[in-house]
Structures are given as C-alpha cells and as structure tokens.
Amino acid sequence: MKELEERIIKDGKCLSGGILKVDNFINHQMDSQLMFSCAAEFMRLFADKKIDKILTIEASGIAPAVFAGYLMRVPVVFAKKAVPKTMKDAFATEVQSFTKQRTYTVFVSKEYLNAGEHILVIDDFLACGNASLALAELCSQAGATVEGFGFLIEKAFQGGRASIAKNMPGTRVESLAAISSLDNGKIEFVKEGR
Amino acid sequence: MKELEERIIKDGKCLSGGILKVDNFINHQMDSQLMFSCAAEFMRLFADKKIDKILTIEASGIAPAVFAGYLMRVPVVFAKKAVPKTMKDAFATEVQSFTKQRTYTVFVSKEYLNAGEHILVIDDFLACGNASLALAELCSQAGATVEGFGFLIEKAFQGGRASIAKNMPGTRVESLAAISSLDNGKIEFVKEGR
C-alpha cells in the first residue's frame, strides 16, 4: 500500500537489532486518517471472506482493528496482556516477544470468542509470527476459525509468514507494507510480484 | 448521550465495589459503530475549542480517541504504562488506579507532547479522576494546555469531576453517560439539567 510505504520512508526509523520505530504514526502517536485507509485496504483484501469478528492485541493493534471493525461492521476484541479482576474465565496462551525479549501471557475472556466464529486477526507488525500464532491459538481454544491475518507492516526477513504457513497451512496472510531489509539503517521494501 | 446510556443498561454489569463492567462493548470487545458515534459527540461538544492533539491512555481509551482524531483530523497520542526500549526521553508521572488498587507510572515520549499545543484528553472512564489528572500533568510538563476532558462514562459518585475542578479550575469536563449510583446492582444515571 503506497500511502503506508511512503509514510514509513518519511517517518520510520531503523534502530539496531532489526527494529523499525514507527511511533510517530502507529505505536505511540497515531495517524487516524492513515489507520482508516489501512482498514479500508484490509476490508478490500478480505472482501471474499466471511468475517464475524476481528481479534487484535493491546495496545498498538487496536487502532487499525477498530477502524476495520467500523468499516466491516463487526465487533473487535483485543487480547489482554494481564487478566483484569473483572474477567472470570479466559482463554490464555504464551507469547515470546521479539522486541521485548521476554515471554508474556495473552488472554481473551471466554465470553468473547465462540465456537464457529470466523475471525480476522489484525495487528500492527508481523515479525517472527509469535503473537499472531498465539492469537490463533486462542481462537483454536474457542473452536473459532481464523480466516486470515492482516498486518500493517511485515518484516519479511524475520520469518513470520513462513511460520504461519507451517503452523496454519493455507491461511491467508496480508501485509500492507512488507520490508525486506533494515540493514545499514536503510528501509527496503519487498518487490511487487514476489 | 442516549445511545450510550441504552447500551450501558442493556450490556453493563454492576460488580461489587462500585465497578461497572462494560467489557462487552468498550473494555475488551469493542463496538466500533458506537465508538464512532461517541467520537462524533465529543467533536460536537468541543467544537468551539482549538484542539491540536488528542491524548488518551492505553488500552481502553484508544478506540474512542482514534475515532475522535479521525473526525477532528488531529493526531492521537496514547500514554503508555511501560517505557518501550525504543523510547528515549519521556514525560512521566504516577497514577493511583481505582479498579486495580495499585500505583503505576504513565509515560509520553517528549517527541509527542509539545509546548503550546492545545490538548483534548479522552478516556473511557472518569472515576476519581487520578488518571485524568496524571495525563494533565504530562501536558503540564510539556508546556501544553488541556482544553478539556471527554469521557465515555462518568461515575459521578466517585468525585472525579470535583477533583478536576479543584486542581484545574475552569477546565471543561464532558461525559457522554454520567452514572449517579450503582447501589444494589442497579445503574442510575444523573438526571439531565444538573
């Protein structure tokens, strides 16, 4: 998606260790106009799928997910990284975080993922795919079906797409901007038609 | 706001200790259509104010804030409850949480709050006002001006409005649904024309 790629080039910053800092428009300060455009693109990409619900994870997945939920007219659930005391019974699984280099648990209340539901998973980044597979695991625990994954930015050099393909063969993965390299502080995108 | 009050009556649950559980449409599963309507109401309520930026706090403030940012065409910044390793220099202050009964620190990168900016603070709940005053303190550290506070739900029996009035006299506080009591498991709204 050209608008997103251009914004990444303009405002993204390469940090050491394969980290792309986009907290100017996604991860801390958010550009709602851009998030709306990204959500419209997710709607287009998954137009042929029956989607009952969008699942994301706090906090940076929420903005693209709620705009997609608005456009697609479906509820949006965000997985939590801590169990609030008002949550009684939850699906839970562990995630190994790439940027934070630690393991954490994600939760979704059993009230909000149900057997037979068709789920679109939306998140800001696809890196090695661990968070995405954890969200899929929560869906699996509920008996819900993941119809696809939509990411704003894919770091294609970190293997997330292959990891999803291996664990969930045939599941559609779409990213709006796919980065092939952040080497030497330079942002390179995956060429079209890969 | 009638639509929000009706939804609270339909789906809100009173828990012990003055807690209103609305995780069916705000705090865990989110109704994007309703959040859009609430954002439109915030835009109407603050139409006479010059707003440069919206400030909220992760995670439940993000949905109403990004829709308001979309409608008002301003950036949205969410305060974080932990400093990511990509954040270099931040404004920080402490919050005493009502629901979680503990103290935590909130952060905003110095890149995203600036002297002279006019800020609208948006959050899901106004309870005792501690989180709101902490966000205002971050604005104050930056030399930015809080033009007002917009809340989806005010628990009017917990003193937040008085606390803001005492600490920030003259600052406008708007809530879309104001609850006067949750006693005996019954949700009572503040009468119009208070």
CATH code, domain carrying B30: 3.40.50.2020
pLDDT at B193: 55
User: Is the confidence at residue A193, as pLDDT, over 60?
Assistant: no
Task: List the one residue out of A131, A130, A155 whose CA is nearest residue A12.
Answer: A155
Residue B30 forms beta bridges with which residues? Answer: A76
Taking CB atoms and an 8 Å limit, are A70 and B33 in contact across chains?
yes
Neighbours of A137 (CB within 10 A): 18
Residues in chain B closer than 8 A to A29 (CB atoms): 75-77, 111-112
Taking CB atoms and an 8 Å limit, are B33 and A99 in contact across chains?
no
Taking CB atoms and an 8 Å limit, are A32 and B69 in contact across chains?
yes
* Chain B stretch 139-158, residues whose beta carbon is closer than 8 A to a beta carbon of chain A: none
Q: Is B49 domain-assigned?
A: yes
Give the global pTM: 0.96
Task: List the one residue out of A173, A171, A33 whose CA is nearest residue B67.
Answer: A33
Instruction: Tell me, yes or no, if B12 comes closer than 8 A to chain A by beta carbon.
Output: no
Mean pLDDT for the stretch of residues A28-40: 98
Q: Is B54 domain-assigned?
A: yes
Q: Is B194 domain-assigned?
A: no
**How distant is the Cα of A193 from the closest Cα of chain B, in angstroms?**
33
Nearest to A59 among B15, B36, B58 (CB): B58
Torsion of CA B168, B74, A55, A173, to 10 degrees: -150
CA A175 to chain centre: 9
**How distant is the Cα of B174 from the closest Cα of chain A, in angstroms?**
22
For A55-107, write each residue's pLDDT tens digit: 999 999 999 999 999 999 999 999 999 887 778 899 999 998 866 678 999 99
Count the residues in chain B. 194
AA identity, residue A112: Y
pLDDT at B64: 98
Taking CB atoms and an 8 Å limit, are A59 and B77 in contact across chains?
no
Residues in chain B closer than 8 A to A78 (CB atoms): 28, 30, 59
Taking CB atoms and an 8 Å limit, are A66 and B70 in contact across chains?
no
- How far is the C-alpha of B9 from the C-alpha of B64, rounded, in Å? 19
Q: Tell me whether 0.85 is exceeded by the ipTM.
A: yes
Instruction: Tell me, yes or no, if A31 comes closer than 8 A to chain B by beta carbon.
Output: yes
* Chain B stretch 66-125, residues whose beta carbon is closer than 8 A to a beta carbon of chain A: 66-67, 69-70, 73, 75-78, 80, 84-87, 99-100, 108-109, 111-112
Q: B48: domain range? A: 2-189
Q: Is B180 domain-assigned?
A: yes
3-state secondary structure chain A: CHHHHHHHHHHCEEECCCEEECCCCCCCEECHHHHHHHHHHHHHHCCCCCCCEEEEECCCCHHHHHHHHHHHCCCEEEEECCCCCCCCCEEEEEEECCCCCCEEEEEEECCCCCCCCEEEEEEEEECCCHHHHHHHHHHHHHCCEEEEEEEEEEEHHHCHHHHHHHHCCCCEEEEEEEEEECHHHCCEECCCCC
Is B103:B67 a contact under the CB 8 Å cutoff? no
**How distant is the Cα of B87 from the closest Cα of chain A, in angstroms?**
9
Taking CB atoms and an 8 Å limit, are B69 and A21 in contact across chains?
no
Q: Is A194 domain-assigned?
A: no
pLDDT at A177: 98
Neighbours of A3 (CB within 10 A): 14
A134 phi and psi, to 5 degrees?
A: -65, -40
Q: Is B95 domain-assigned?
A: yes
Q: Is A183 domain-assigned?
A: yes
Mean pLDDT for the stretch of residues A127-151: 98
pLDDT at B102: 87
AA identity, residue B109: S
Nearest to B75 among A30, A99, A108 (CB): A30
Half-sphere exposure of B13 (CA within 13 A, CB side): 9
How many independent structural domains does chain B possess?
Answer: 1
Q: pLDDT 10s per residue in chain B (194 long)?
A: 999 999 999 999 999 888 999 999 999 999 999 999 999 999 999 999 999 999 999 999 999 999 999 999 999 999 999 887 778 899 999 998 866 678 999 999 999 999 999 999 999 999 999 999 999 999 999 999 999 999 999 999 999 999 999 999 999 999 999 999 999 999 999 987 55
